[in-house]
Amino acid sequence: MKYISVLYGIILFLGVAACTPKVGVLRSPDYKGNVGSGTDTKKSDAASDKETKDVAGKKHLAGSNIALVLPFQLNQISTSSILEKDVKRSALALDFYQGFQLGLEDLARKGKNFYLDVLDSRDDDFQNATLAKSETVSEAAVVVGPVYPKEIKSFGTNLSNKDVLQINPLAASMPTEFNLPNLVSLRPPIKAHTQAIAREVANGFSGGDVIIIYNTADNDGRQFLNGMLAAIRQVKANVNVVSVSSITQLNEKLSNTGFTHVIAGTTDKLQIRTLINNLSSKAKEGIYNFQLYGHPLWDRFDWSIYPEFADLKPRIPSESVLKEWTAPAKKFKEAYSMKYGVQPSDHSFRGYDCALYFGSLLAKYDKAQLKDNLEKEEYEGLYSRYKFSHNNTWGYVNEAVAVRIYRNGSFQLQ
Q: Average pLDDT of 111-139? A: 94
| Predicted confidence (pLDDT) at residue 388 exceeds the cutoff of 80 | yes
**What is the pTM (predicted TM-score) of this model?**
0.87
- At 16, is the pLDDT very low, low, confident or very high (cuts 50, 70, 90)? very low
Instruction: State the residue range of the domain holding 264.
Output: 191-317
Q: Average pLDDT of 41-70? A: 59
Is the same domain home to 269 and 184? Answer: no
Lowest mean pLDDT among 85-94, 125-134, 302-311, 404-413: 85-94
Q: Average pLDDT of 228-238? A: 97
| Predicted confidence (pLDDT) at residue 135 exceeds the cutoff of 90 | yes
Is the same domain home to 278 and 299? Answer: yes
| Per-residue model confidence (pLDDT) at position 142 | 96
- Say which CATH number the domain at 297 has: 3.40.50.2300
| Per-residue model confidence (pLDDT) at position 42 | 39
Residues 169-212 pLDDT 10s: 999 999 999 999 999 999 999 999 999 999 999 999 999 999 99
Tell me, yes or no, whether 301 lies in a domain. Answer: yes
Ramachandran class of 123: left when φ > 0, alpha when ψ lies in -120 to 50, beta otherwise: left
- At 88, is the pLDDT very low, low, confident or very high (cuts 50, 70, 90)? confident
Q: Verify cis geometry, omega within 30 degrees of 0, for the bond prior to 146.
A: yes
In percent, how much of the chain has pLDDT > 70?
Answer: 83
Is the same domain home to 306 and 340? Answer: no
| Per-residue model confidence (pLDDT) at position 18 | 29
| Three-state DSSP state, 210 | strand
| Per-residue model confidence (pLDDT) at position 5 | 59
| Per-residue model confidence (pLDDT) at position 15 | 42
Closest CA to 405 of 313, 307, 279: 313
Q: Average pLDDT of 228-232? A: 98
- At 82, is the pLDDT very low, low, confident or very high (cuts 50, 70, 90)? low
- At 54, is the pLDDT very low, low, confident or very high (cuts 50, 70, 90)? low
Is the same domain home to 87 and 181? Answer: yes
- Give me the sign of the Cα torsion angle 348, 350, 356, 362: negative
Report the chain's terminal Cα–Cα distance, integer Å: 39
| Per-residue model confidence (pLDDT) at position 87 | 73
Residues 6 or more apart whose CB falls under 8 angstroms from that of 97 comprise: 10, 68, 70, 118, 351
Residues 282-315 pLDDT 10s: 999 999 999 999 999 999 999 999 999 999 999 9
- At 45, is the pLDDT very low, low, confident or very high (cuts 50, 70, 90)? very low
Question: What is the number of domains present in the chain?
Answer: 2
Q: Which of 291, 317, 343 is the last residue of a domain?
A: 317
Is the same domain home to 163 and 205? Answer: no
Pairwise CA distance, residues 269 & 328, whole Å? 36
Is the same domain home to 10 and 154? Answer: yes
In percent, how much of the chain has pLDDT > 90?
Answer: 78
| Per-residue model confidence (pLDDT) at position 30 | 31
Is the same domain home to 388 and 311? Answer: no
| Predicted confidence (pLDDT) at residue 50 exceeds the cutoff of 70 | no
Is the same domain home to 40 and 135? Answer: yes
Q: Average pLDDT of 6-27? A: 41
| Predicted confidence (pLDDT) at residue 378 exceeds the cutoff of 50 | yes
| Predicted confidence (pLDDT) at residue 57 exceeds the cutoff of 70 | no
